[in-house]
Structure 1
């Protein structure tokens, strides 16, 4: 999966953890748009907390209501191997593709005040 575009949407708490929500567009027809959540890490960079797929249609669900089942956590689906272990190479590649888009790291730092 190749990331074709990424933009920071907002600072949020994901399961009680301060994080930043990033809208990600990919070349994968099955998952063309995802939300990736990043939080602080011990190495002064950012950890990818989760990747979520939104199955809601914007024509129907214009409110962007993430409190319903249209938002599905696909982190395991994207990065687990057939033996149910995380493919850290694929996960890190996706994470770095997102973070390497112009201004993403700076915007996360600004919103989360981690700099």
Structure 2
């Protein structure tokens, strides 16, 4: 899966962690739009906390209701091998594609360091 576009949407709380929500567009027909959540890391970078589907359409679902199926957590599904183990190489590649997209890392830094 190749990241074709990414931009930081807002600060959010996910599973009790303060993180940045990044809207991601990909080359994958099955998951063309995703939301990736990034939090602070001990190594002065950012950890990818979760990746969820972004099937909400603003013309239909104009409020961000993260409790319905438009925002299903796909983290395991996207990065697990057939033996149910995480493919860390693929996960890290996706994470770095998102963080390396122009402006994303700087916008995350502004959001999370200002908190």
TM bracket (short chain): over 0.9
Unaligned runs of at least 5 residues, structure 1 = none
Residue 55 (structure 1) aligns with: 55
| Root mean square deviation, CA, Å | 1.2
**Contact between 2:33 and 2:55, CA under 8 Å: does it hold in 1?**
no
- Cα shift at 1:78: 0.5
Please give the residue correspondences for 1:88-99 in structure 2 after superposition, counting only pairs within 5 Å.
88-99=88-99
- Cα shift at 1:74: 0.3
- Cα shift at 1:103: 1.2
Alignment coverage as a number of residue pairs: 114
- Tell me the distance in 1 between the aligned counterparts of 2:40 and 2:90: 20
- Cα shift at 1:39: 0.3
- Cα shift at 1:8: 0.2
- Cα shift at 1:15: 1.1
Which structure 1 residue ranges, 4+ long, deviate > 4 Å from structure 2?
A: none
Output one character per residue of 1:34-59: Cα deviation in whole Å (capped at 9) or x when no partner.
Answer: 00000011100000000000233333
Unaligned runs of at least 5 residues, structure 2 = none
- Tell me the distance in 2 between the aligned counterparts of 1:13 and 1:56: 19
